[in-house]
Amino acid sequence: MQAIIPRYEFRAFAQNFGLAEEKMRKLSKLDKFRESSEIYILSLSNNENNVKIRYDTLDIKVWVKEEKGLQQWKPRIQAVFPVKMEVLRDDVFPALGTAGPEFNRSEYTLAQFLEDILTPHPQLVLARVFKRRFGYTIKGCIGEIAELLINGAAIQTMALESADIEAVLKVKQMLGLHEYENVNYLLAIKRILSMEPLGD
């Protein structure tokens, strides 16, 4: 199996990116268009592991490091529902940094996981996120503009990703994104839900 190379990421959130968005669309043709409805699982004690559900799949990405103002993330697991109880107990709840409940099933469907485990848990918050994503390729970097609804709140995000840190920094400068704060999904959603203070 080929080793996964963690990518460096720059991501910003705003109501409108104006000239930066225009530049991205001019520098590359549209490569991909995707829509998805996702559920982010949040806890006050976790700011380093991105835990979400997308396309009936439980997905965990872990923060690796920050370098030159960019963040590096690495996939940890992807598990398609129904998911074994051991995965929830040994992977999901440790990633969330909170104690797991008593498990009464050997495996859980998505509906059972939401209704029996997540919704009643006093230390967890669910964010339902609809994404309309437009993908581009600029100088070898994966570029993205996305329109989001986060528990009904509308916002946009722009992102650049590559295993080559210098490539991301170069394209970031080209697009005029150097004045934007680098904010990952986990922190951005927590700010919108008032679980974290807003940035400066």
pLDDT score for 133: 98
pLDDT score for 198: 78
Pick the CATH number of 7-74+126-192 from 2.60.40.420, 2.40.320.10, 3.90.105.10, 2.60.40.10: 2.40.320.10
Strand, helix or coil for residue 15: coil
pLDDT score for 196: 86
Q: Give the integer Cα–Cα distance in Å for 39 and 52.
A: 5
pLDDT score for 72: 95
pLDDT score for 6: 85
Structure-token pair, residue 120: 């009643």
- Where is 165: in which H helix or E strand? helix 165-175
Per-residue pLDDT of the chain (200 residues; tens, 9 = 90+): 455 678 999 999 999 999 999 999 999 999 999 999 999 999 999 999 999 999 999 999 999 999 999 999 999 999 999 999 999 999 999 999 999 999 999 999 999 999 999 999 999 999 999 999 999 999 999 999 999 999 999 999 999 999 999 999 999 999 999 999 999 999 999 999 999 887 65
Task: Look up residue 53 and give its amino acid.
Answer: I
Residue pair 53/127 in contact by the 8 Å Cβ criterion: no
pLDDT score for 5: 77
pLDDT score for 1: 43
The percent of the chain in helix, strand and coil, each rounded to the nearest 5, is 25, 45, 30
pTM: 0.93
